[in-house]
Amino acid sequence: MPGPLEGIRVFDLTRILAGPTATQVLADLGADVIKVERPETGDDVRGWGPPFLKDEDGNELLRDSVYFNAANRNKRSVSLNLATAEGQLLARKMIAQCDILFENYKTGALAKYGLSYENLKGELPGLIYCSLTGFGHTGPYAPRSGIDLVIQATGGIMSITGPETQEPCKVGVGIADLMCGMYCNVGILAALRHRDKTGEGQHLDMSLLDTQIAWLVNEGMNYLHTGESPRAWGSAHVSIVPYQAFPSSDGRFILAVATDRQFAAFAEFAGQPELAMDPRFRVNEQRVRHRDACVAAVSALTLQRTCRHWLEGLPTVGVPVAPVNSIGDAFADPQVQARDMVVKIPHSATGKPEPYIANPLKMSRTPPEYRRPAPTVGEHTDEVLSELLDMDAAAVNKLRANGVV
């Protein structure tokens, strides 16, 4: 069945992680995403390894990192030298055949190629042009490069991540990149809806820092209402107790009591129902105010039995618990496997199916599809130029000889 974005074409000028993960979602939903890369070397993240994909003989493919493959399936790669006048002209011709231009160049960088929104909006009034930068196109930091670690630090998330006594700690994946990409897609889909009604395209000025500030959510709001900057809590929660890792007789597990009913159910299961009647612990507000005493009381109980006892027993009385899984444990989890969160796609460079993390969208009528693996550099140059610009092999070969593609 065709994807919900079939018929939408994206001219993808993004690199590294934030933009590519966003355009991969659009591609999974059926959009034709044309990834434009530098001839020969391509996206910088192609070389971010090891690990790299390996061919059937076990040889590493040094321009096909696993990192690159994580964010670029279902796309077609066109190699194009935008530093040449002919490359810029080809780009403009291809953009005219696209619905969306998605780029993550530094603020103002595409203007020198004649490919900024201001350069294009007059001749392409229906174009949706998404710019993803570190700090946005306005403000004192606009000229700066912005990468995930810089944004996590600037946007405050590192100050509330990890143990309280530890040095500044980032989230384990590029979460500022990923979240900005998701916000970009929300904006793009809204812009498509607006264009459907009016015919008008528009410019999306998306910033890693803006989105990082937006997803501070309750911790950011706590500061705005109290004037006090939150601190790191490790696995604990600023507003809910008990809600953290607890010790058992053979390891640690997560106990996430979110309601007073759940706390009473925990106390009953643990064989000490009177704990839930203690005035200090009866309601969450008091448990937060008496955090240390509550955590100590719960820990004294959890230490008496094994992780298995709590992990198997507490869900039966409606209390959320979890093991602290490694990533390997997570992929081996029966729930993750039941939800088909790993797919295999035959890869043109390796000659065998390669594993990919699946798209989490579960849609009854138009589910994501896995049509292609991440492409090799310029793998679809001839195909795309023929399809969009009606160029024959001789014309493409001439461009290749001139260093344009």
**For residue range 21-69, what is the model confidence (pLDDT) as tens digits?**
999 999 999 999 999 999 989 999 999 999 999 998 899 999 899 999 9
* pLDDT in the model for residue 70: 97
pLDDT average, residue stretch 132-136: 97
* pLDDT in the model for residue 164: 80
Structure tokens at 276: 């839930």
Count the neighbouring beta carbons within 10 Å of the beta carbon of residue 180: 32
User: In what helix (H) or strand (E) does residue 401 lie, and over which residues does it extend?
Assistant: helix 393-401
> Is 104 in contact with 132 (CB distance < 8 Å)?
yes
| Residue whose entry in the numeric block shows the structure tokens 């007789």 | 249
User: In what helix (H) or strand (E) does residue 79 lie, and over which residues does it extend?
Assistant: strand 75-79
User: In what helix (H) or strand (E) does residue 41 lie, and over which residues does it extend?
Assistant: none
- Which of 206, 145, 152 lies closest to 174 in space, CA to CA? 152
Q: Which of 25-34, 161-170, 324-333 has the lowest mean pLDDT?
A: 161-170
* pLDDT in the model for residue 166: 77
pLDDT average, residue stretch 214-226: 96
Any idea what the Cα angle at residue 31 is, between residues 37 and 21, rounded to 5°?
Answer: 55
pLDDT band at 354 (very low <50, low <70, confident <90, very high): very high
Q: Is the peptide bond before 355 cis (omega within 30 degrees of 0)?
A: no
* pLDDT in the model for residue 167: 85
Residue 32 phi/psi, 5-degree rounding, is -85, 105
pLDDT band at 2 (very low <50, low <70, confident <90, very high): confident
Q: What percent of the chain has pLDDT over 90?
A: 97
Q: For the sheet containing 128-133, what is the strand order?
A: 75-79, 32-37, 9-13, 100-103, 128-133, 202-207
- Which of 319, 153, 174, 164 lies closest to 236 in space, CA to CA? 164
Average pLDDT of the chain to the nearest whole number: 96
Residue type, 296: A
Any idea what the Cα angle at residue 212 is, between residues 206 and 218, rounded to 5°?
Answer: 130
pLDDT band at 186 (very low <50, low <70, confident <90, very high): very high
pLDDT at 1 over 80: no
pLDDT at 226 over 90: yes
- Which of 257, 250, 239 lies closest to 297 in space, CA to CA? 257
> Is 106 in contact with 143 (CB distance < 8 Å)?
yes
Residue 61 phi/psi, 5-degree rounding, is -100, 100
- Which of 129, 137, 130, 134 lies closest to 107 in space, CA to CA? 137
| Residue whose entry in the numeric block shows the structure tokens 């839930």 | 276
Structure tokens at 134: 């570190």
| Residue whose entry in the numeric block shows the structure tokens 């496997």 | 337
User: How would DSSP label each residue in 91-158?
Assistant: HHHHHTT-SEEEE-PPTTGGGGGT-SHHHHTTT-TT-EEEEEESS-SSSTTTTS---HHHHHHHTTGG
- Which of 336, 333, 298, 335 lies closest to 319 in space, CA to CA? 298
Any idea what the Cα angle at residue 160 is, between residues 157 and 166, rounded to 5°?
Answer: 115
pLDDT tens profile 115-125? 999 999 999 99
> Is 229 in contact with 166 (CB distance < 8 Å)?
no
Count the neighbouring beta carbons within 10 Å of the beta carbon of residue 111: 13
Structure tokens at 321: 């618990």
> Is 323 in contact with 246 (CB distance < 8 Å)?
no
Whether 177 is catalytic: yes
Residue 373, helix vs strand vs coil:
coil
Residue 139 phi/psi, 5-degree rounding, is 95, 165
* pLDDT in the model for residue 165: 75
pLDDT at 107 over 90: yes
DSSP strand pairing (353-357 vs 9-13): unpaired
Q: Which of 177, 333, 340, 392 is catalytic?
A: 177
